[in-house]
Structure 1
Amino acid sequence: MEEQTELKNDKIKVLNFGTFHFGFTPDANKTEFDEHSEEAQKEIREISKMLAQFKPTIICVENLPKFNTEINKAYQDFLDNPSTLNTKYGESSMIGFDVGRLSDVKKIYGIDNHMGYNYSVGDFIESSPEYKNNIDSKTYLQLTNEPFKDYPEMAKREKKYDKLSLLEKLKLINEPLHLDYSINTNADKLLYVGIEDGFEGADNAAIFYHRNMKIYSNLNRIPMTKNDRVFIIMGTAHTAFLREFMKRSPKFEMVNTLEYLK
């Protein structure tokens, strides 16, 4: 079951919002975006207004919990002078802080966890003459080169990605099919890679799964009641994993993100 319009029950409502990273990112997949430009800042303000209609009481961002004091100091400084967006923490501060301001949220929570994994191990094996992928090169290469082969409409939209407005980019990457792609490209495609009888791909995919499990555990550390409304802003791969965990959760119910991007 996908995200839906809110149902009346005692589950905590969550707006699970995925984005590309504003500013520097070590991620393999990057989006060119000048977060300092006047046009970008205007677009971000408009998107924050849309997301603030969810009326969150709790905001979670892709930062480590150990930096919560630092981030909340920056958040309070922004609340004192909201005329300029804070770009230091990328989307966490540009959108997260502004949604918090518009919703009168008192505190920002970092829920990230860092674990090193090699998402390029499959590409390395496929391109190295001394190694052979003994699992399934065909599927791995399809997921790498034609991830939307079976979805021509999505493939067509993806080709135009760089020309889309910020809002249209965010709509696209928050669609369920695109979130599935985020899991495939960051983790699951590695399950088709291994040297001889080894599990080099699976071992690295497991690390990324583990990282996202820890992120979800950090989310669950935050004290909440059924009256809370949680806005989560993270890179889309984490959004996609959280979506999988929350779909089965007796605690959370996701709202339809796309309904807030209008």
Structure 2
Amino acid sequence: MRYFNVFIFIASIFFLISCNNSKSGNRANNTPTHDQPHPTIPVLNFGTFHMGFTNDANKTEFDEHDRKNQERVHKIAEMLSEFDPTVILVEQEPQYNKQIQKEYKSYVENPDTVFTNPSEIELLAYELGRLSGTERIYGIDHKMGYNYRIGHEINNTVDPEWYNRYYKDPLKHYPSVDLKRDSLSLLKKLQYTNRDRYLDFLIAANTDMLTHAGTDGNFEGADEAAKYYKRNLRMYLNMNRIDLTKEDRVFILMGASHTAFFRDFMSRDPKYRMVNTFDYLK
């Protein structure tokens, strides 16, 4: 009988512990408390190619002065306007914010404005903002140079065979994204650009594969890759400088390699909630 009572006592203890754990879990998931996470801010994180002049090594052929192309871009803006952003962030340095905002306001007042050298900012961001009634637009870029060809300029002793084979034709190693992008329509091209697999490729080709390059005892490839990570982290910090609330809806327009990094940063950041780009880019 004594052993039976001990058994009952121990079983009761385990039952109480189980109940407490269950209640604790339910409270964390379902019951509003002061510890509840801050409401997340919806973000449409949109990647593009540069539609005007760019210093990027890889360029996409696109005549930004062609009226038909401009109309195609405006059609994309019309699709994206369903997101109804209250804030637009673009790949421009914050020091130019006053100039951007002045130019944007002028465009809203006169949509027939002809820009001398339009980029995706003038062609897409301004039109999207005009259609959505967006009042706030900011640049979040941070310029930093890095040498993505470092492996060709040093005596690579890490893995030169792989490095040279990879960079001879990077897309060859990603059959699911090896498409003729330049032959696609603008809509298809942007849809393709925003696919997760292509964004993964951009991170690998721009940074991660540089870790196969270095001289004996040194880390030249990794150090160059770190510069690009650093640039994107600084850009992300610039975004976090913007005064945003739960009532805001944020649209980010950048070159797709930055979009790829921001996708990863925001996927772990409880402040933001990325919406599905393809709910709008149909």
TM > 0.5 between the two? Answer: yes
Q: Counterparts of 2:174 and 2:149 in 1: how far apart (Å)? A: 25
Equivalent position of 1:256 in the other structure: 276
Letter in 1 for 2:189: K
Q: CA deviation at 1:259?
A: 2.3
> Is this contact kept in 2: 1:41–1:85, CA < 8 A?
no
> Is this contact kept in 1: 2:88–2:129, CA < 8 A?
yes
- Cα 1:176–1:208 change in 2 (3 A) is same
Equivalent position of 1:42 in the other structure: 71
Q: Counterparts of 2:75 and 2:130 in 1: how far apart (Å)? A: 13
Matches within 5 A, 1:97-176: 97-125=126-154, 131=155, 133-149=156-172, 151-155=174-178, 157=179, 160-176=180-196
Q: Counterparts of 1:66 and 1:153 in 2: how far apart (Å)? A: 40
Letter in 1 for 2:236: Y
Q: CA deviation at 1:80?
A: 1.2
Q: Counterparts of 1:89 and 1:242 in 2: how far apart (Å)? A: 25
Letter in 1 for 2:176: E
> Is this contact kept in 2: 1:171–1:261, CA < 8 A?
yes
Cα deviation 1:85-126 (Å, max 9, x = unaligned): 64645111211111110110112110000112112212334x
SS at match of 2:170: coil
> Is this contact kept in 2: 1:49–1:99, CA < 8 A?
yes
Higher helix share: 2
Q: CA deviation at 1:77?
A: 1.0
Over aligned residue pairs, what C-alpha RMSD do you find?
1.6
> Is this contact kept in 2: 1:11–1:251, CA < 8 A?
yes
Equivalent position of 2:51 in the other structure: 22
SS at match of 2:83: coil
Q: Counterparts of 2:128 and 2:115 in 1: how far apart (Å)? A: 12
Instruction: Compare 237-246 and 189-198 and name the one that shifted more.
Output: 189-198
SS at match of 1:36: coil
Length-normalised TM-score, structure 1:
0.89
SS at match of 1:116: coil
For structure 2, which runs of at least 5 residues remain unmatched after alignment?
1-37
Q: Counterparts of 1:138 and 1:10 in 2: how far apart (Å)? A: 49
> Is this contact kept in 2: 1:62–1:110, CA < 8 A?
yes
> Is this contact kept in 2: 1:22–1:90, CA < 8 A?
yes
SS at match of 1:53: helix
Q: 1:205 aligns with which of 225, 230, 233?
A: 225
The number of residues matched between the two structures is: 245
Structure having greater relative contact order (Cα 8 Å, sep ≥ 6): 1
Q: CA deviation at 1:260?
A: 1.5
Cα deviation 1:13-70 (Å, max 9, x = unaligned): 0000001111111111110110110110110010000111111111000000010001
> Is this contact kept in 2: 1:87–1:94, CA < 8 A?
no
Matches within 5 A, 1:232-243: 232-243=252-263
Equivalent position of 1:4 in the other structure: none
Matched residues, percent identical? 50
> Is this contact kept in 1: 2:90–2:139, CA < 8 A?
yes
Letter in 1 for 2:246: K
Equivalent position of 1:222 in the other structure: 242
Q: Counterparts of 1:82 and 1:124 in 2: how far apart (Å)? A: 48
Letter in 1 for 2:57: A
SS at match of 2:58: coil
SS at match of 1:69: helix
Equivalent position of 1:194 in the other structure: 214
Equivalent position of 2:21 in the other structure: none
